[in-house]
Protein backbone atom coordinates (compact mmCIF):
# COMPACT_ATOMS: atom_id res chain seq x y z
CA UNK A 1 0.00 0.00 0.00
CA UNK A 2 1.35 3.42 -1.00
CA UNK A 3 2.06 5.75 1.91
CA UNK A 4 2.30 9.53 2.09
CA UNK A 5 5.91 10.11 3.11
CA UNK A 6 7.52 13.40 4.07
CA UNK A 7 11.27 13.91 4.02
CA UNK A 8 12.78 16.88 5.82
CA UNK A 9 16.11 17.69 4.18
CA UNK A 10 17.16 16.93 0.60
CA UNK A 11 20.89 16.41 1.10
CA UNK A 12 22.72 13.29 -0.06
CA UNK A 13 21.10 10.87 2.41
CA UNK A 14 17.67 12.51 2.11
CA UNK A 15 17.96 12.14 -1.66
CA UNK A 16 19.03 8.50 -1.40
CA UNK A 17 16.17 7.55 0.92
CA UNK A 18 13.71 9.69 -1.01
CA UNK A 19 14.62 8.03 -4.29
CA UNK A 20 14.21 4.52 -2.92
CA UNK A 21 11.02 5.27 -1.00
CA UNK A 22 9.50 6.93 -4.09
CA UNK A 23 9.45 3.59 -5.91
CA UNK A 24 6.18 2.63 -4.19
CA UNK A 25 5.13 5.69 -2.18
CA UNK A 26 4.02 9.32 -2.53
CA UNK A 27 7.06 11.35 -1.41
CA UNK A 28 7.18 15.07 -0.58
CA UNK A 29 10.50 16.67 0.34
CA UNK A 30 10.95 19.79 2.48
CA UNK A 31 14.00 21.86 1.54
CA UNK A 32 15.05 25.48 1.99
CA UNK A 33 17.38 25.70 -1.04
CA UNK A 34 15.52 27.08 -4.03
CA UNK A 35 17.80 25.52 -6.64
CA UNK A 36 17.23 22.05 -5.16
CA UNK A 37 13.45 22.52 -5.07
CA UNK A 38 13.42 23.68 -8.69
CA UNK A 39 15.63 20.81 -9.90
CA UNK A 40 13.69 18.11 -8.04
CA UNK A 41 10.31 19.34 -9.24
CA UNK A 42 11.62 19.59 -12.81
CA UNK A 43 13.76 16.44 -13.04
CA UNK A 44 12.73 14.23 -10.13
CA UNK A 45 15.25 12.42 -7.94
CA UNK A 46 18.13 10.65 -9.66
CA UNK A 47 20.40 7.95 -8.33
CA UNK A 48 23.69 7.52 -10.17
CA UNK A 49 22.32 7.27 -13.69
CA UNK A 50 19.12 5.38 -12.87
CA UNK A 51 15.81 6.56 -14.27
CA UNK A 52 14.51 9.55 -12.27
CA UNK A 53 11.59 9.16 -9.87
CA UNK A 54 8.96 11.83 -9.46
CA UNK A 55 8.56 13.45 -6.06
CA UNK A 56 7.35 16.83 -4.90
CA UNK A 57 9.78 19.36 -3.40
CA UNK A 58 8.61 22.34 -1.39
CA UNK A 59 9.78 24.99 1.06
CA UNK A 60 6.42 24.95 2.87
CA UNK A 61 6.12 22.65 5.87
CA UNK A 62 2.33 22.56 5.52
CA UNK A 63 2.72 20.50 2.36
CA UNK A 64 3.93 17.65 4.60
CA UNK A 65 1.29 17.94 7.35
CA UNK A 66 -0.66 14.97 5.96
CA UNK A 67 2.37 12.67 5.91
CA UNK A 68 1.89 9.22 7.42
CA UNK A 69 5.64 8.90 7.96
CA UNK A 70 8.02 11.86 8.37
CA UNK A 71 11.75 11.23 7.93
CA UNK A 72 14.17 13.80 9.36
CA UNK A 73 17.51 14.17 7.56
CA UNK A 74 18.59 17.72 8.40
CA UNK A 75 21.78 18.44 10.34
CA UNK A 76 21.42 18.09 14.10
CA UNK A 77 22.01 21.85 14.36
CA UNK A 78 18.83 22.45 12.33
CA UNK A 79 16.46 19.90 13.88
CA UNK A 80 14.54 22.27 16.14
CA UNK A 81 14.20 24.96 13.47
CA UNK A 82 13.07 22.51 10.79
CA UNK A 83 10.41 20.81 12.93
CA UNK A 84 8.90 23.77 14.79
CA UNK A 85 6.42 24.45 11.94
CA UNK A 86 4.99 20.93 12.44
CA UNK A 87 4.00 21.52 16.07
CA UNK A 88 0.32 20.65 16.55
CA UNK A 89 -0.11 19.93 12.83
CA UNK A 90 0.81 16.25 12.45
CA UNK A 91 -1.62 13.41 13.04
CA UNK A 92 -0.68 11.82 16.41
CA UNK A 93 -0.28 8.49 14.60
CA UNK A 94 2.33 9.90 12.19
CA UNK A 95 5.65 8.16 12.71
CA UNK A 96 8.57 10.58 12.91
CA UNK A 97 11.83 8.87 11.97
CA UNK A 98 15.25 10.35 12.82
CA UNK A 99 18.31 8.77 11.20
CA UNK A 100 20.48 11.80 11.95
CA UNK A 101 24.03 12.07 13.21
CA UNK A 102 24.85 12.78 16.82
CA UNK A 103 23.12 12.64 20.17
CA UNK A 104 20.44 15.16 21.10
CA UNK A 105 18.04 14.90 18.17
CA UNK A 106 15.49 13.01 20.28
CA UNK A 107 15.30 15.91 22.73
CA UNK A 108 15.09 18.49 19.93
CA UNK A 109 12.30 16.61 18.15
CA UNK A 110 10.28 16.23 21.35
CA UNK A 111 10.82 19.90 22.18
CA UNK A 112 9.43 20.83 18.77
CA UNK A 113 6.61 18.29 18.51
CA UNK A 114 5.81 17.28 22.09
CA UNK A 115 6.81 14.34 24.25
CA UNK A 116 4.08 12.03 22.96
CA UNK A 117 5.31 11.97 19.35
CA UNK A 118 5.55 8.49 17.77
CA UNK A 119 9.32 8.82 17.43
CA UNK A 120 11.45 6.17 15.77
CA UNK A 121 15.19 6.59 16.24
CA UNK A 122 17.73 4.91 14.01
CA UNK A 123 21.31 4.58 12.89
CA UNK A 124 22.23 3.98 9.28
CA UNK A 125 25.47 3.15 7.54
CA UNK A 126 23.97 4.12 4.18
CA UNK A 127 26.23 6.67 2.49
CA UNK A 128 25.84 8.79 -0.62
CA UNK A 129 27.76 11.39 -2.57
CA UNK A 130 25.92 14.44 -3.90
CA UNK A 131 26.29 14.79 -7.68
CA UNK A 132 23.93 17.74 -8.01
CA UNK A 133 20.54 18.97 -6.75
CA UNK A 134 18.34 15.89 -6.30
CA UNK A 135 21.07 13.63 -7.68
CA UNK A 136 23.26 11.34 -5.56
CA UNK A 137 25.47 8.29 -5.87
CA UNK A 138 25.16 5.56 -3.22
CA UNK A 139 28.41 4.35 -1.69
CA UNK A 140 28.23 0.64 -0.97
CA UNK A 141 25.23 -0.94 0.73
CA UNK A 142 24.55 -0.04 4.31
CA UNK A 143 22.35 -1.27 7.12
CA UNK A 144 19.72 0.74 8.95
CA UNK A 145 18.71 -0.18 12.49
CA UNK A 146 15.64 1.38 14.12
CA UNK A 147 14.17 1.36 17.59
CA UNK A 148 11.77 3.28 19.78
CA UNK A 149 12.19 6.84 20.92
CA UNK A 150 8.55 6.81 21.99
CA UNK A 151 6.92 4.86 19.15
CA UNK A 152 5.36 1.46 19.67
CA UNK A 153 7.14 -1.75 18.69
CA UNK A 154 4.53 -2.17 15.97
CA UNK A 155 5.41 1.24 14.50
CA UNK A 156 9.15 0.48 14.59
CA UNK A 157 8.55 -2.82 12.80
CA UNK A 158 6.40 -1.02 10.23
CA UNK A 159 9.21 1.44 9.48
CA UNK A 160 11.77 -1.35 9.12
CA UNK A 161 9.41 -3.17 6.74
CA UNK A 162 8.83 0.02 4.74
CA UNK A 163 12.58 0.50 4.31
CA UNK A 164 13.15 -3.15 3.40
CA UNK A 165 10.43 -2.96 0.75
CA UNK A 166 12.20 0.09 -0.69
CA UNK A 167 15.54 -1.69 -1.04
CA UNK A 168 17.10 -0.36 2.17
CA UNK A 169 18.26 -3.16 4.47
CA UNK A 170 16.68 -2.53 7.85
CA UNK A 171 15.98 -4.23 11.16
CA UNK A 172 14.39 -3.40 14.49
CA UNK A 173 16.13 -3.60 17.87
CA UNK A 174 14.73 -3.45 21.37
CA UNK A 175 17.27 -0.87 22.58
CA UNK A 176 18.48 1.59 19.96
CA UNK A 177 20.97 3.40 22.22
CA UNK A 178 23.95 1.08 21.60
CA UNK A 179 23.56 1.59 17.86
CA UNK A 180 23.21 5.37 18.20
CA UNK A 181 26.40 5.40 20.25
CA UNK A 182 28.13 3.12 17.77
CA UNK A 183 27.42 5.58 14.97
CA UNK A 184 28.36 8.47 17.28
CA UNK A 185 31.78 6.94 17.91
CA UNK A 186 32.42 6.48 14.19
CA UNK A 187 31.36 10.06 13.45
CA UNK A 188 33.47 11.39 16.35
CA UNK A 189 36.60 9.62 15.11
CA UNK A 190 36.21 10.32 11.40
CA UNK A 191 34.35 13.55 10.76
CA UNK A 192 36.35 16.21 12.63
CA UNK A 193 39.76 14.74 11.78
CA UNK A 194 38.99 14.67 8.05
CA UNK A 195 37.36 18.11 8.29
CA UNK A 196 40.33 19.76 9.98
CA UNK A 197 42.64 18.27 7.36
CA UNK A 198 40.19 19.16 4.55
CA UNK A 199 40.40 15.63 3.16
CA UNK A 200 38.15 12.69 2.35
CA UNK A 201 37.50 10.13 5.10
CA UNK A 202 40.33 7.91 3.89
CA UNK A 203 42.91 10.23 5.47
CA UNK A 204 42.03 8.59 8.79
CA UNK A 205 43.58 5.37 7.50
CA UNK A 206 46.54 6.41 5.36
CA UNK A 207 47.96 9.25 7.44
CA UNK A 208 49.57 7.82 10.62
CA UNK A 209 49.05 10.98 12.67
CA UNK A 210 45.39 11.29 11.68
CA UNK A 211 44.95 7.60 12.34
CA UNK A 212 46.34 7.85 15.87
CA UNK A 213 44.13 10.82 16.73
CA UNK A 214 41.03 9.10 15.35
CA UNK A 215 41.84 5.92 17.27
CA UNK A 216 42.22 7.89 20.51
CA UNK A 217 38.91 9.71 19.91
CA UNK A 218 37.11 6.41 19.33
CA UNK A 219 38.60 4.69 22.36
CA UNK A 220 37.85 7.65 24.61
CA UNK A 221 34.24 7.75 23.41
CA UNK A 222 33.88 4.00 23.99
CA UNK A 223 35.11 4.47 27.56
CA UNK A 224 32.40 7.07 28.12
CA UNK A 225 29.77 4.74 26.64
CA UNK A 226 30.86 1.98 28.99
CA UNK A 227 30.69 4.34 31.97
CA UNK A 228 27.04 5.15 31.23
CA UNK A 229 26.20 1.47 30.68
CA UNK A 230 25.87 1.50 26.90
CA UNK A 231 26.58 -1.99 25.56
CA UNK A 232 28.17 -1.12 22.23
CA UNK A 233 27.44 -3.42 19.27
CA UNK A 234 31.17 -4.10 18.78
CA UNK A 235 34.10 -5.09 20.99
CA UNK A 236 36.83 -3.03 19.34
CA UNK A 237 35.87 0.59 18.52
CA UNK A 238 38.89 1.19 16.29
CA UNK A 239 38.19 -1.88 14.14
CA UNK A 240 34.60 -0.65 13.74
CA UNK A 241 35.76 2.83 12.75
CA UNK A 242 38.25 1.41 10.25
CA UNK A 243 35.49 -0.63 8.59
CA UNK A 244 33.36 2.51 8.18
CA UNK A 245 36.29 4.45 6.73
CA UNK A 246 37.07 1.71 4.24
CA UNK A 247 33.50 1.92 2.96
CA UNK A 248 33.56 5.73 2.66
CA UNK A 249 37.26 6.42 2.00
CA UNK A 250 36.66 8.64 -1.05
CA UNK A 251 33.81 10.59 0.50
CA UNK A 252 34.06 14.03 2.08
CA UNK A 253 31.83 13.94 5.14
CA UNK A 254 29.28 16.54 6.19
CA UNK A 255 31.66 18.31 8.58
CA UNK A 256 34.13 18.92 5.73
CA UNK A 257 31.25 20.38 3.69
CA UNK A 258 30.05 22.56 6.55
CA UNK A 259 33.50 24.06 7.15
CA UNK A 260 33.88 24.76 3.42
CA UNK A 261 30.53 26.53 3.41
CA UNK A 262 31.48 28.62 6.42
CA UNK A 263 28.57 27.17 8.36
CA UNK A 264 28.08 25.68 11.76
CA UNK A 265 29.08 22.02 12.10
CA UNK A 266 27.50 19.24 14.16
CA UNK A 267 30.53 19.12 16.47
CA UNK A 268 28.44 19.89 19.58
CA UNK A 269 26.15 16.94 18.85
CA UNK A 270 29.00 14.51 18.13
CA UNK A 271 32.27 15.05 20.03
CA UNK A 272 30.60 17.68 22.21
CA UNK A 273 28.01 15.13 23.30
CA UNK A 274 30.80 12.76 24.30
CA UNK A 275 32.47 15.50 26.36
CA UNK A 276 29.20 16.39 28.10
CA UNK A 277 28.35 12.77 28.87
CA UNK A 278 31.90 12.18 30.08
CA UNK A 279 31.65 15.05 32.54
CA UNK A 280 28.42 13.66 33.96
CA UNK A 281 30.08 10.27 34.38
CA UNK A 282 33.33 11.74 35.77
CA UNK A 283 35.31 10.45 32.76
CA UNK A 284 38.03 12.68 31.32
CA UNK A 285 37.76 13.27 27.55
CA UNK A 286 40.82 15.36 26.62
CA UNK A 287 40.98 14.20 22.98
CA UNK A 288 37.32 14.91 22.29
CA UNK A 289 37.42 18.22 24.16
CA UNK A 290 40.47 19.32 22.16
CA UNK A 291 38.90 18.36 18.82
CA UNK A 292 35.74 20.31 19.73
CA UNK A 293 37.82 23.42 20.41
CA UNK A 294 39.81 23.02 17.19
CA UNK A 295 36.68 22.68 15.03
CA UNK A 296 35.07 25.66 16.76
CA UNK A 297 38.21 27.68 16.12
CA UNK A 298 37.96 26.77 12.42
CA UNK A 299 34.28 27.77 12.42
CA UNK A 300 35.15 31.14 13.96
CA UNK A 301 38.04 31.69 11.55
CA UNK A 302 35.70 31.17 8.57
CA UNK A 303 32.87 33.21 10.09
pTM of the model: 0.94
Determine how many CB atoms are found less than 10 A away from the CB of residue 118: 23
Class of domain 177-302: mainly alpha
3-state helix, strand, coil in the chain (%, to 5): 50, 15, 35
Q: In 4-139, which residue ranges form alpha helices assigned H by DSSP?
A: 12-21, 34-43, 79-83, 105-113
How many residues appear in the chain? 303
Using an 8 Å Cβ cutoff, are 78 and 51 in contact?
no
Using an 8 Å Cβ cutoff, are 181 and 278 in contact?
no
Catalytic residue list contains 296: no
Q: Which CATH number fits domain 4-172: 3.40.50.720, 3.40.50.620, 3.90.1580.10, 3.40.50.360?
A: 3.40.50.720
- The whole-angstrom separation of Cα 121 and Cα 38 is 30
Tens-place pLDDT, residues 88-118: 999 999 999 999 999 999 999 999 999 999 9
Instruction: For the chain, give every domain's residue range.
Output: 4-172, 177-302
How many helices (H) and strands (E) would you count in the chain? 12, 11
Per-residue pLDDT of the chain (303 residues; tens, 9 = 90+): 799 999 999 999 999 999 999 999 999 999 999 999 999 999 999 998 789 999 999 999 999 999 999 999 999 999 999 999 999 999 999 999 999 999 999 999 999 999 999 999 999 999 898 889 999 999 878 899 999 999 999 999 999 999 999 999 999 999 999 999 999 999 999 999 999 999 999 999 999 999 999 999 999 999 999 999 999 999 999 999 999 999 899 999 999 999 988 889 999 999 999 999 999 999 999 999 999 999 999 999 875
Q: Which of 56, 110, 183, 296 is catalytic?
A: 183
Determine how many CB atoms are found less than 10 A away from the CB of residue 290: 16
Amino acid sequence: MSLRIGIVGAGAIGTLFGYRLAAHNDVTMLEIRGDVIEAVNRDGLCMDGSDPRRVKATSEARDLYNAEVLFVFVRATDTLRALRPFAGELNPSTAVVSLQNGIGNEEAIKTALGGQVALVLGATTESALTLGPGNARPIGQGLTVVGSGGASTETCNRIAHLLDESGIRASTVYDIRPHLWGKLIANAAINPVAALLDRANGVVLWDPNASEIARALAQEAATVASAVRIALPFSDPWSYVRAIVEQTADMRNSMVTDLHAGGRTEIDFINGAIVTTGRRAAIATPYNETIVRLVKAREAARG
